[in-house]
């Protein structure tokens, strides 16, 4: 796991990864706002700020006390939860209108789930590349 973290850069890498995941979390909140009409933009920014703060603190705690591989598993778990929630939301509201009413709900949910799990996989690969980087620029 030393391949993933150089000691001088892991705080910077954790911050970059946290910003990426906060952006994805903001997209989740925006999707919830579009389809449920309960969140305002100020609440979305507050929730995203809390998510960023909590994620950074948990990331530093996990890296320093539990290990670097545990941090990679933690990031994978967070990505899975966020993208699964987005896939269920869009499978329920967006994709039925997108493909018309002729396709069954099960196929729409499966399509949505597969699309967003692939998106989560590519996000995780991006994060692994960030962790393997030797410099920030």
- Tokens at 110, concatenated: 């499966």
pLDDT of residue 4: 61
DSSP 8-state code for residue 117: H
Instruction: Specify the pTM.
Output: 0.77
What mean pLDDT is predicted for residues 33-47?
69
Confidence of residue 118 (pLDDT cuts 50, 70, 90): very high
pLDDT of residue 121: 92
C-alpha to C-alpha distance for 89 and 109, rounded to whole angstroms: 10
In a domain, 3, yes or no: no
Domain that holds residue 56: 10-132
C-alpha to C-alpha distance for 46 and 86, rounded to whole angstroms: 19
In a domain, 117, yes or no: yes
pLDDT at residue 47 greater than cutoff 80: no
Query: Is the distance from CB of 35 to CB of 89 less than 8 angstroms?
Result: yes
C-alpha to C-alpha distance for 39 and 44, rounded to whole angstroms: 7
Other Cβ atoms closer than 10 A to 22: 19
């Amino acid at each position: 796991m030393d391949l993933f973290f150089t000691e001088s850069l892991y705080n910077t890498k954790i911050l970059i990864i946290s910003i990426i995941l906060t952006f994805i979390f903001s997209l989740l909140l925006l999707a919830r706002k579009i389809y449920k009409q309960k969140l305002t933009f100020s609440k979305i920014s507050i929730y995203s700020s809390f998510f960023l703060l909590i994620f950074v603190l948990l990331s530093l705690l996990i890296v320093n006390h539990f290990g670097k591989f545990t941090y990679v598993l933690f990031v994978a778990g967070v990505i899975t939860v966020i993208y699964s929630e987005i896939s269920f939301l869009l499978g329920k509201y967006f994709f039925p209108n997108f493909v018309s009413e002729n396709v069954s709900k099960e196929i729409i949910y499966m399509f949505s789930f597969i699309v967003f799990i692939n998106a989560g996989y590519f996000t995780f690969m991006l994060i692994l590349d960030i962790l393997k980087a030797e410099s920030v620029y």
